[in-house]
Amino acid sequence: MKREIILSFFLLFPIFAFLLSLCIGVYKIPLLAIIKIIVAKTVEIATFGKFSFDLNSYPTAYQTVLLQIRLPRIITAMLVGSALAISGAVLQATFRNPLVDSYIVGISAGAAFGAALAIGFFPASIELTAFIFAMIAMTLTYSLAKIKGRVTVISLILAGIIINAFFSALTSMLKFLMEHEKLAAVVYWLMGSFNGADWNVVSRIAIPIILGSLAIFLMRWHLNVLSMGEEAQILGIDVGKMRLIYISIVSFITAISVAHCGIIGWVGLIMPHIVRMAFGPDHKTLIPLSIAIGAGFMVLADDVARALTTFEIPIGIVTTLLGIPFFVYLLRKTGGEW
Amino acid sequence: MVNPEVELEVKLDAKLEVKNLRFRYNGFELLASLGVKKGEILTLLGPNGSGKTTMLKCIYGILKPKAPCVYLDGEDIHSMSLKDRAKKIGYVPQIHHPSFPYTVLEFVVMGRASQIQVFDSPSEEDYKMAMNALKLVGIVDLADKPYTQISGGQLQLALVARALVQNPEVILFDEPTAHLDFKNKIKISNIIRKITLSKKTATILTLHDPNLAGMYSDKIVLIKGGRIYSAGKPEKVLNGKVLSDVYEMKVRVVDVDSFKLIIPDQTY
Instruction: Mutate one of B77, B107, B110 to test the A interface: name it (highest A CB count within 10 A).
Output: B110
Write down the H helix ranges in chain B.
4-10, 52-60, 82-88, 104-109, 124-137, 152-164, 182-198, 210-216, 234-237, 240-247
**Residue A189 Cα distances to A126, A154, A182, A197, A260, angstroms:** 13, 30, 11, 11, 8
**CA separation for the pair A66, A58 (Å, rounded):** 12
Chain B 175-214, CB below 8 Å of chain A: which residues? none
Q: Give the pLDDT score at A323.
A: 83
Using a CB-CB cut-off of 8 Å, the residues of chain A touching B103 are 280, 282
B222-242: per-residue pLDDT in tens? 999 999 999 999 988 998 999
Q: Give the pLDDT score at B10.
A: 47
Question: B113–A238: do the CB atoms touch at under 8 Å?
Answer: no
Q: Return the minimum-mean-pLDDT range out of A89-93, B31-35, B88-92, B141-145.
A: B31-35
B95-125: per-residue pLDDT in tens? 999 899 999 999 999 999 999 999 999 999 9
Question: B110–A96: do the CB atoms touch at under 8 Å?
Answer: no
Nearest to B100 among A231, A236, A281 (CB): A281
- Shortest Cα distance, chain B CAs vs residue A249, angstroms: 15
* Secondary structure in 3-state letters for chain A: CHHHHHHHHHHHHHHHHHHHHHHCCCCCCCHHHHHHHHHHHHHHHHCCCCCCCCCCCCCHHHHHHHHHHHHHHHHHHHHHHHHHHHHHHHHHHHCCCCCCCCCCCCHHHHHHHHHHHHHHCCCCCHHHHHHHHHHHHHHHHHHHHEECCEECHHHHHHHHHHHHHHHHHHHHHHHHHCCHHHHHHHHHHHCCCCCCCCHHHHHHHHHHHHHHHHHHHHCCHHHHHHCCHHHHHHHCCCHHHHHHHHHHHHHHHHHHHHHHHCCCCCHHHHHHHHHHHHHCCCHHHHHHHHHHHHHHHHHHHHHHHHHCCCCCCCHHHHHHHHHHHHHHHHHHHHCCCC
Instruction: Mutate one of B78, B85, B99 to test the A interface: name it (highest A CB count within 10 A).
Output: B99
Rounded average pLDDT per 10-residue block, chain A, 338 residues: 85 94 89 89 85 81 92 97 98 94 96 94 90 97 92 93 97 92 87 91 97 98 96 95 97 97 93 91 96 96 89 88 84 66
Q: Does residue B148 sit at the A interface (CB-CB below 8 Å)?
A: yes
Contact assessment for residue A121 and residue A174, using Cβ atoms and an 8 Å cutoff = yes
CB-defined contacts A:B, below 8 A:
75
**CA separation for the pair A220, A197 (Å, rounded):** 30
Q: Give the pLDDT score at A337.
A: 53
Nearest to A236 among B100, B106, B113 (CB): B113
Using a CB-CB cut-off of 8 Å, the residues of chain B touching A228 are 99, 110
Q: Give the pLDDT score at B1.
A: 44
Q: What is the CA radius of gyration of chain B?
A: 19
Domains along the sequence of chain A with CATH: 17-334 (1.10.3470.10)
Confidence grade of residue B264 (pLDDT, cut at 50, 70, 90):
confident
Minimal-distance CA residue of chain A relative to B166: A235
Residue B7, pLDDT > 60, answer no
Where are the domains positioned within chain B? Answer: 4-98+168-264
B172-201: per-residue pLDDT in tens? 999 999 888 999 999 999 999 999 999 999
Residue B3, pLDDT > 70, answer no
A107-120: per-residue pLDDT in tens? 999 999 999 999 88
Q: Give the pLDDT score at A191.
A: 87
Residue B133, pLDDT > 90, answer yes
The torsion angle over the Cα atoms of residues A44, A45, A46 and A48, rounded to 10 degrees, is: 80
Question: B106–A282: do the CB atoms touch at under 8 Å?
Answer: yes
DSSP B111: G
Calculate the average pLDDT of chain B.
Answer: 91
- Shortest Cα distance, chain B CAs vs residue A245, angstroms: 11
Nearest to B97 among A225, A229, A238 (CB): A229
Q: Give the pLDDT score at B4.
A: 45
**CA separation for the pair A229, A240 (Å, rounded):** 10
Determine the CATH number of domain B4-98+168-264.
Answer: 3.40.50.300
B15-57: per-residue pLDDT in tens? 999 999 999 987 788 999 999 999 999 999 999 989 999 999 9
